[in-house]
Structure 1
Amino acid sequence: MKITIRSIDIKGQYINLAAPIELTGELKVAELLAERHSHSLQDLSSVPLQIGVDEAGRGPLLGSVNVAAAILPSKWSGLIEDQPLLTTPLAILTDSKQLSEKKRDILYPLVQQYALGYVIADIPAAVIDQLNILQATMLGMRLCTEQLLIAIYQQLTIDFASLCSHMPTQILYDGNRCPELDYPTLAKVGIEQATIDCQAWVKGDARHTSIAAASILAKVSRDHRMYQLDAQYPDYSIGKHKGYPTAAHMQAIVDYGVLPEHRRSFAPMKRALLEK
C-alpha cells in the first residue's frame, strides 16, 4: 500500500496541502479473512476488529509527525496487563517510550511481519505549519484509519461482504481525543458509521497492545527519517536530538540557519527567523 495525499476535505472545506502526505502500509488479506472466518457470525459481534492508532513527533522543531495504525491478531489484541503477547514474538511490546531504541528496532519489523494490517503516515513540516500541530496529527490519525478501513473493505473479496455487517470495529486512539472521520466517504465503500466505535485512550500506548504496536511503527519510522536528515545535514546532529529543542539543536540553528524541514510555526523557530 502506497498512497500520496495532496488535497483533503476538512469539515467541508477542500484544502490543497502545502506538501504531500505519504502513507505506506500493508494489508494481509488472506490472514485477516481467515481470522474473521474462524469466528462464528454470533462470535463476530462480540469480537470486534481492533485498530490501534498512535503518533510520534509532536514536540520536535524539525521534521514530520508520524502516525501509524495497526491491526494485531485478535488473540494478541488486548490490555497489556493481561499479557496477551506473553508467548508471542511481540512479548516485549509496550509503550515505545518505555523501550530502548535497540528494542524498538527489533520490534519494528516484527510488528510489520505479524500485524494483519498497518498504515504509517508521514505528515511533513509544511503541513504542520499550514494546519497547526494538533490538527496535522488529527489528520494523520484520520487518514491512517480511513485508508486501512477502505483497504479492508475493498480488498477482502466479495466473500467478505457477508461478514462486514457482523464486524464491529473499534478504533483505539492514543490520547484524549479522536479525529473526525469522513463518514460519507467511508459509506460509499460500504462502511457504515454505526459499525465504528472510536475510543480515546489516555496513555493508551502503555495500556493496549494494538496501540503499542502502532506506537512502535510511528516512532521508528520517524527515527529512520531523522537519520536520513542527519546524513543530509551533518552539522545539525539530527541523529542525536531527533529534532527536539536541545541546546545543541538550538545552537546549530544559530550557527547554520533554519532548514526547510524546520517547523516555522513553532515559537522557537519564529524567534530564530526574526533574528536572522
Structure 2
Amino acid sequence: MYRTENHIVQIESTIEKIDIKGQYIQLAEPIRLSGQLNIAELLTQYPINTTQDLQQSALQIGVDEAGRGPLLGSVNVAAAILPRAWSGLIEMQPLKGTPLSILTDSKQLSEKKRDMLYPLVQQHAIGYVIADIPAAVIDQVNILQATMLGMHVCTEMLLETLARHLSDMAKGTPYQLHAEVLFDGNRCPDLNYASLNQLGIAESAVDCQAWVKGDARHTSIAAASILAKVSRDKVMYALDAEHPEYGIAKHKGYPTRAHMEAIENYGVLSAHRRSFAPVRKALENQR
C-alpha cells in the first residue's frame, strides 16, 4: 500500500470490501487508488503541535469528482493538499505567480490546459489521492453513493497515510492534526471516524465542509477537479483504443447522439453503466 522514498510516500491501494455502517460489503469490482504524500514538506508547512492554534494551522484537503453523467466507464474522485500559501479562495489569487496560476474549475479550462496542469498539480501538491470507481460499483450502489464512496475512500486514505507517518517524522514532537476537508457539492460523505480515531485522529479534528461549485471557488478543490477529470479522460482514451467504433475519445462516455447511435449499432460494452436508463433500454431492445 505504501512505499516511502525521500520522505515521499507513494500510495497504491486496491479496495475490494467497504465498511458501510459497520457492515463489510463486497464490491462488484475493486476500487483502485493511487497518489503520494510528501510528509517532510507537510511538516515544514504545517508545523502543528499542541501549543498552536489548530484552526489557523489546519491543512486543507480539496475533494472533487469527474464522470457522474456519462453512460460509460468509471467515476473518478480525487483529493488534493496544496502548499499552504497556495490553498485558498480563487478570487484572492493565492496562485498568482505560481506554476498553477491558471488553475480553476476543470470544466472552465480547455483540455489542453487541463493536460498541462495535471502533472503540475501532481508535482507541486503536498499530497493527493485519485480513486477510480468502476461502472460495476456504480451499478451496485448507484451513482450518488459511488461518488460519495469515492470521496470517502480518498479522504480516509490521505488521513490514514498522514496518521501512520506523522509520528515517525515528527521525531517525538507532540503533533496534532486538524484538517478541513472541502468537498465539491452540497453534501459530505460519511467518514469512518471510529477507524480514524484508532489512528489518533479525533472526529473533532476533521472539519468536513460542502462547497457548492467549490471547484470554481477554492484552489484545493480545483486541483482535485483537474486530477479527477484528466485521470478519467485517460481511462476513456484507453477504452477508445480498444473500441474505436464507439468514438469514445470524442464523447467521453456522455450520452451524445453519436454515442447512442454507436450503442444501437454495436451493442453495450462491459464498461457501460447498466443501471443508467439509456443503457438499460438498449439492453432490453437487444433481447
Q: Answer yes or no: same fold by TM over 0.5.
A: yes
Aligned to 2:104: 94
Aligned to 1:68: 78
Residue 234 of structure 1: how far off its partner (Å): 0.6
Q: What amino acid is aligned across from residue 75 of structure 1 in structure 2?
A: A
Partners of 1:80 and 1:53 lie apart in 2 by 15
Q: Which residues of 2 match residues 237-276 of structure 1 at below 5 A?
A: 237-276=247-286
Aligned to 2:192: 182
Preserved CA contact (<8 Å) 2:167 2:175: no
SS of equivalent residue, structure 1 residue 275: helix
SS of equivalent residue, structure 1 residue 177: coil
When the two chains are superposed, the root-mean-square deviation of aligned CA atoms in Å is 1.4
Q: Given the alignment of the two structures, is residue 171 of structure 1 paired with residue 165 of structure 2, yes or no?
A: no
Q: What amino acid is aligned across from residue 143 of structure 2 in structure 1?
A: I
Q: What amino acid is aligned across from residue 7 of structure 1 in structure 2?
A: K
Flag structure 2 segments of 5+ consecutive residues without an equivalent. Answer: 1-10
SS of equivalent residue, structure 2 residue 65: strand
Partners of 2:223 and 2:76 lie apart in 1 by 14
Partners of 1:57 and 1:171 lie apart in 2 by 21
Of all paired residues, the percent bearing the same amino acid is: 67
**Quick one: which of 22, 29, 47 aligns to 1:37?**
47
Residue 163 of structure 1: how far off its partner (Å): 4.8
Aligned to 1:231: 241
Residue 14 of structure 1: how far off its partner (Å): 1.4
Q: What amino acid is aligned across from residue 218 of structure 1 in structure 2?
A: A
Residue 33 of structure 1: how far off its partner (Å): 1.4
Q: What amino acid is aligned across from residue 180 of structure 1 in structure 2?
A: D
Partners of 2:242 and 2:175 lie apart in 1 by 47
Aligned to 2:5: none
SS of equivalent residue, structure 2 residue 52: helix
Relative to the length of structure 1, the TM-score reads 0.97
Residue 45 of structure 1: how far off its partner (Å): 3.7
Alpha-carbon spacing, 1:272–1:247, altered in 2? closer, same or farther (3 Å) = same
Q: Which residues of 2 match residues 18-37 of structure 1 at below 5 A?
A: 18-37=28-47
Q: Given the alignment of the two structures, is residue 198 of structure 1 paired with residue 208 of structure 2, yes or no?
A: yes
Preserved CA contact (<8 Å) 1:57 1:222: yes
Aligned to 2:120: 110
Residue 263 of structure 1: how far off its partner (Å): 0.1
Residue 13 of structure 1: how far off its partner (Å): 2.2
Aligned to 2:7: none
What is the number of equivalent residue pairs in this alignment?
275
Preserved CA contact (<8 Å) 1:36 1:44: no
Residue 30 of structure 1: how far off its partner (Å): 1.3
Preserved CA contact (<8 Å) 2:16 2:30: yes
Preserved CA contact (<8 Å) 1:141 1:179: yes
Residue 162 of structure 1: how far off its partner (Å): 4.1
Relative to the length of structure 2, the TM-score reads 0.93
Flag structure 1 segments of 5+ consecutive residues without an equivalent. Answer: none
Per-residue Cα deviation, 1:8-29 (whole angstroms, up to 9, x for no partner): 1112221000000000000011
Residue 127 of structure 1: how far off its partner (Å): 0.1
SS of equivalent residue, structure 2 residue 200: coil
